[in-house]
Structure 1
Amino acid sequence: MAENNQLEQNKRNEDSMSLLARSLLTGFIGGLFWSTIAVILFYFNFSKVSPKSFILRSWLKTDWTSSWLGDLVSIVLIGVLSMIIALIYYGTLKKVKSMWVGVLYGIILWAIIFYLLQPIFNNVPGLFDLDTNTIVTTLCLYILYGIFIGYSISYDYHETQVKET
């Protein structure tokens, strides 16, 4: 009987570790996907702000940051940073089973990036200097990103809980 309890405990530990790993993978893939969409939206002039404006151009003023290589490096860096955002969601909100929490999470992330952290990104215009298309486009993009991260992690968490019972 004690061996069965130990085996069940080991299986739960493996599931929680794999859930964390899957959450980090969700964050990485979400960052890659949605930052690629942001680059496409920038090239089609839906937004005046590109991912490389935040990640690279605010600190580096070299020629390669304006090219496709700058876009590619920015997409990968956002994927890595997105793992941190997914980890925060995993640690705080994974038990909440609602799409609206993801929407709110995306809005909060947008406000943090475009309002609170804006002084760090000197290559990006201030929130009140952006045009309406850029604000609407980026806000919608962050909402979709928040839904992707939030709903994926919450769904995975609840499915793991169902399997354990």
Structure 2
Amino acid sequence: MADNQKKSEHNEREKPMSFISMVVWTGLTGGVLLSSLAYLAYVFSFTEIPPRVILEPWVIGDWKEGWLGTVISIILIGIVSIGAALIYYAAFRKFKSIWVGAVYGIILFLLVFFVLNPIFPGISSFGELKRDTIITSVCFYILFGVFVGYSISYEENEMQNQGEEQAESHS
């Protein structure tokens, strides 16, 4: 009986993560990782936009200018990135090309810098931004789109291949 219990516990631990859970973790990881890199780009003056601009419309106080504001901003960007990953999952997961993720990143860039720009007072209008800021931001958005897009599309393709293999083995 103890042997059966160990086997059932072993099987429970090996259950794969659901696809939606993987999408959520991919979005969170991509958002946190790339906003952390964007913070480094800000520190080294590649961009004039710090991650904490996400807090400016909603948070009062000088604390958001310090390390706590930066950490909370990076985590918040990761949470928002979950939504972006879920949108990619819903709309583009069937596409196998890396270029779809790159285009998705560009679409996200255009959305933030043109549509949502009035919400964030810390981001100047597009025409007032320095060229370094624009190039760095576009690159980070493309990198995020490729990371999320490739991860989700790859997993979709793997699940599809597993389904086909199982169908062939049962035939």
CA deviations 1:72-128 (Å, max 9, x no partner) are: 000111111111100000001000000000010000000000111101112211110
Q: Distance in 2 between matches of 1:59 and 1:84?
A: 19
One-letter code aligned to 1:32: V
Do structure 1's residue 109 and structure 2's residue 108 form an aligned pair?
yes
Provide the aligned C-alpha RMSD in A.
Answer: 1.4
Q: Any conservation in 1 of the 2:49–2:122 contact (CA below 8 Å)?
A: no
Q: CA deviation at 1:58?
A: 3.2
Give 5+ residue unaligned stretches, structure 1: 1-13
1:46-87 deviations in whole A, cap 9, x for unaligned?
00001111x112333411100011110001111111111000
Q: What TM-score, normalized by structure 2, do the two folds share?
A: 0.84
The whole-number CA distance in structure 1 between the counterparts of 2:128 and 2:57 is 17
Segments of 4+ moved more than 6 angstroms? none
TM-score by length of 1: 0.87
- Alignment size in residue pairs: 150
Corresponding residue number in structure 2 for 1:9:
none
Counterparts in 2 of 1:28-67, with a 5 A limit? Answer: 28-53=28-53, 55-67=54-66
State the distance in 2 between where 1:35 and 1:156 align. 24
| Gaps in structure 2 of 5+ consecutive residues | 1-14, 165-171
